[in-house]
Structure 1
Amino acid sequence: MEFRVMGPVEVRCDDRAEVLSGRLQRTLLGVLLARANQPVPVDVLTDALWGDQPGPRAPQKLQLHVHRLRGLLDTPDRLSFGETGYRLRAGQDEVDAGRFDALVKTGTATSEREPQRAIESLRAALALWRGEPFADVEVPVLADWARRLAERRLTAVEALYEAELACGLHEAVLGELTDLVREHPLRERLHELLMTGLYRAGRRSEALEAYRAARHALVSELGLEPGPELRELQRRILADDLPEPGPEPSADRRDVPAQLPVDVRGFVGREAELAELDGLPATVVITTLAGTAGVGKTALAVHWAHRVRARFTDGQLYVDLRGYGPDEPVSPADALAGFLRALGLDGAAIPEDLDERAARFRTLVDQRRILILLDNARTVDQVRPLLPAGSSCRTVVTSRDSLAGLVARYGAHRIDLDRLPAADAVELLHDLLGARADAEPEAVGALAERCARLPLALRIAAELVRSRPGQAIRELAGELADRQDALDLLAADDDPHTAVRAVFSWSYQRLDPAVARLFRLLGVHHGHDVDAHAMAAMAGSGLRETRRALDVLVRAHLVDQPSAGRYQPHDLLRAYAAELAEATDDATGRAAALTRLCDYYVGTASAAMDLIAPHEAKRRPKVASPGSESPVFGSYDAAFGWLDRERANLLATTQHGEPDHVVNVSDTVWRYLHIGGYRDDAFALHTRALHAAQALGDLAAEANARRVLGVAAHRVGLNVQAIDHLERALALYQQVGDQSLLAVTLSNLGAVTRRHGNLSDAADLIRRALALHEELGDKSQQAAATNNYALILHALGRYDEAFGLLEQSLAIARDNGDRNVEITVLCGMSEINTELGRAHQALDYARLALSVAQDAGHRPFQGTAIRMIGIALREGGEHEEAISHLDTALHIARTAGDTAQLIPALNGLAATHTSAGNPAKALSLYLEALTVEDGPRIFLENAHTYAGIGDAHAALGEHDQAAEHWQRALTIYRRLGTPQADVVAAKLAVSPSSTDGASRDCAPPRCG
Structure 2
Amino acid sequence: MWRIESGPSDAESAADLVALLNEIRTGAGLSFRDVARRARQAGYPLPATTVWDMLSKPSLPRVEVMRAFLAACGATQAQAEEWLAARARLSRAPQPVSATPVQPRQLPWNVDGFVGRAGECAQLDSLSEQRRLVVVTGPPGVGKTALALHWAHRAQERYPDGQLYLDLNGYGERRRTRPTQALRRLLVGLGVPVGQVPPDVEHASSALRSLLAGRRVLLLLDNAAAADQVRPLLPGTSDCLVLVTARTALTGLVAAEGAAVLPVPPLADGDARELLDSILGGLEPAQATRLAEACGRLPLALRIAAATLARSSGASLIERLDRLTGHDRLRQLRTHGDDRSAVAVAFDSSYQSLPESARAVFRLLGCLPSSSAGVDEVAAALAVDRVAAADALDILIEENLAADRDGRFGLHDLLRVYARDLGRDADALRRAYTWHLERVSAVADLLDPQGASPSDGEREIFSSLETALAWLDSQALNLEAMVLEAEELDLAPFAWQLADALRIYQLSARTALAWPEIGAAALKAARGHGDVRAEAAARLVLGNDSDLQGRTREGLEHFLEALRLAEAASWREGQRAALDRAGVMYSRLGELDLAGEYLSRAVDLAREMGLPGTEAVRRNNLATVRIGQGRLDDAFQLLEEALRLHRLVDSRRGQAAVLINLAIVRSQRGEAEAALADSALAWRIFDEIGNPLGALAAMKTAADIHNGAGNHQTGLPLALIALASARRAGSLQWEASCVIGLAQARLRLGRYRLARLLFHRGLRLARRINLRRAEIEALTGLADAATRLGLAVDARTYASHASRLARHGGFEPPGPKPRGRA
Shared fold, TM over 0.5: yes
1:755 aligns with 2:755: no
Aligned position for 1:621: 455
Shift of 1:568: 0.9
Contact 1:340 1:350 survives alignment (8 Å): no
Aligned position for 1:686: 519
1:564 counterpart letter in structure 2: D
Aligned position for 1:554: 397
- From 121, 139, 162, the equivalent of 1:292 is 139
1:886 aligns with 2:719: yes
Would the alpha carbon gap of residues 681 and 408 (structure 1) be closer, same or farther in structure 2, given more than 3 Å must change?
Answer: closer
Would the alpha carbon gap of residues 624 and 939 (structure 1) be closer, same or farther in structure 2, given more than 3 Å must change?
Answer: closer
Aligned position for 2:428: 593
Q: Spell out the pairing of 1:335-374 with structure 2 (5 A cutoff).
A: 369=212, 373-374=220-221
2:606 counterpart letter in structure 1: H
Q: Spell out the pairing of 1:164-563 with structure 2 (5 A cutoff).
A: 251-254=96-99, 260=106, 262-266=108-112, 268=114, 270=117, 272-280=119-127, 284-302=131-149, 307=155, 316=164, 318-323=166-171, 325-327=172-174, 329=176, 369=212, 373-379=220-226, 383=229, 386=232, 395-408=242-255, 410-420=257-267, 449=292, 454-460=298-304, 468=311, 478=318, 481-487=321-327, 488-489=329-330, 491=333, 494=337, 499-561=342-404, 563=405
Shift of 1:290: 0.8
- Separation of aligned partners in 1, 2:721 and 2:157: 29
2:166 counterpart letter in structure 1: Y
Q: Which moved more, 1:284-293 or 1:843-852?
A: 284-293
Would the alpha carbon gap of residues 909 and 308 (structure 1) be closer, same or farther in structure 2, given more than 3 Å must change?
Answer: farther
What percent identity do the matched residue pairs reach?
28
Aligned position for 1:605: 440
Aligned position for 2:696: 863
Shift of 1:753: 0.3
Cα deviation digits, residues 718-777 of structure 1 (max 9, x gap)? 122212112222222332333453233222211100100111221122222223333444
1:299 counterpart letter in structure 2: A
Shift of 1:416: 0.8
- Separation of aligned partners in 2, 1:253 and 1:822: 29
- From 692, 708, 730, the equivalent of 1:897 is 730
- From 617, 621, 635, the equivalent of 1:788 is 621
Would the alpha carbon gap of residues 412 and 905 (structure 1) be closer, same or farther in structure 2, given more than 3 Å must change?
Answer: same
Shift of 1:778: 3.6
Q: CA RMSD in A?
A: 4.2
Aligned position for 1:715: 548
2:398 counterpart letter in structure 1: R
- Separation of aligned partners in 1, 2:418 and 2:771: 60
Cα deviation digits, residues 469-488 of structure 1 (max 9, x gap)? xx76x888755532322322
Task: State the SS of the aligned residue for 2:244.
Answer: strand
Would the alpha carbon gap of residues 331 and 906 (structure 1) be closer, same or farther in structure 2, given more than 3 Å must change?
Answer: closer
Contact 1:526 1:649 survives alignment (8 Å): yes
1:264 counterpart letter in structure 2: N
Would the alpha carbon gap of residues 901 and 345 (structure 1) be closer, same or farther in structure 2, given more than 3 Å must change?
Answer: farther
1:673 aligns with 2:506: yes
1:697 counterpart letter in structure 2: G
- Separation of aligned partners in 2, 1:640 and 1:339: 21
- Separation of aligned partners in 2, 1:645 and 1:770: 35
Aligned position for 1:640: 469
1:322 counterpart letter in structure 2: G
1:320 counterpart letter in structure 2: L
Contact 1:538 1:593 survives alignment (8 Å): yes
1:930 aligns with 2:763: yes
Aligned position for 2:90: none
Q: Spell out the pairing of 1:775-854 with structure 2 (5 A cutoff).
A: 775-854=608-687
1:715 counterpart letter in structure 2: L
Would the alpha carbon gap of residues 540 and 461 (structure 1) be closer, same or farther in structure 2, given more than 3 Å must change?
Answer: same
- Separation of aligned partners in 1, 2:368 and 2:262: 34
Shift of 1:302: 4.5
Would the alpha carbon gap of residues 870 and 276 (structure 1) be closer, same or farther in structure 2, given more than 3 Å must change?
Answer: farther
- Separation of aligned partners in 2, 1:411 and 1:677: 37
Would the alpha carbon gap of residues 303 and 931 (structure 1) be closer, same or farther in structure 2, given more than 3 Å must change?
Answer: farther
1:637 counterpart letter in structure 2: E
Task: State the SS of the aligned residue for 1:419.
Answer: coil
- Separation of aligned partners in 2, 1:368 and 1:604: 35
- Separation of aligned partners in 2, 1:311 and 1:975: 63
Shift of 1:577: 1.9
- Separation of aligned partners in 1, 2:539 and 2:806: 33
- Separation of aligned partners in 2, 1:597 and 1:336: 29
Would the alpha carbon gap of residues 372 and 965 (structure 1) be closer, same or farther in structure 2, given more than 3 Å must change?
Answer: farther
- Separation of aligned partners in 1, 2:694 and 2:208: 26
- From 406, 418, 440, the equivalent of 1:576 is 418
Contact 1:679 1:712 survives alignment (8 Å): no
- Separation of aligned partners in 2, 1:314 and 1:959: 60
Contact 2:709 2:819 survives alignment (8 Å): no
- Separation of aligned partners in 2, 1:930 and 1:953: 15
Task: State the SS of the aligned residue for 1:614.
Answer: coil
Aligned position for 1:736: 569
Shift of 1:524: 2.4
Would the alpha carbon gap of residues 658 and 252 (structure 1) be closer, same or farther in structure 2, given more than 3 Å must change?
Answer: closer
Would the alpha carbon gap of residues 846 and 595 (structure 1) be closer, same or farther in structure 2, given more than 3 Å must change?
Answer: same
Shift of 1:516: 2.3
Shift of 1:339: 7.7
Contact 1:348 1:679 survives alignment (8 Å): no
Contact 2:447 2:653 survives alignment (8 Å): no
2:326 counterpart letter in structure 1: A
Shift of 1:453: 5.0
Q: Which structure: larger Rg? A: 1
Contact 2:224 2:230 survives alignment (8 Å): no
- So what's the TM-score if we normalise by structure 1? 0.62
- Separation of aligned partners in 2, 1:402 and 1:445: 31
Aligned position for 2:36: none
Shift of 1:623: 9.5
Would the alpha carbon gap of residues 911 and 504 (structure 1) be closer, same or farther in structure 2, given more than 3 Å must change?
Answer: same
Contact 2:519 2:541 survives alignment (8 Å): yes
Would the alpha carbon gap of residues 880 and 452 (structure 1) be closer, same or farther in structure 2, given more than 3 Å must change?
Answer: farther
1:651 aligns with 2:651: no
2:519 counterpart letter in structure 1: H
Contact 1:315 1:369 survives alignment (8 Å): no
Contact 1:346 1:895 survives alignment (8 Å): no
Task: State the SS of the aligned residue for 1:737.
Answer: coil
Q: Which moved more, 1:676-685 or 1:258-267?
A: 258-267
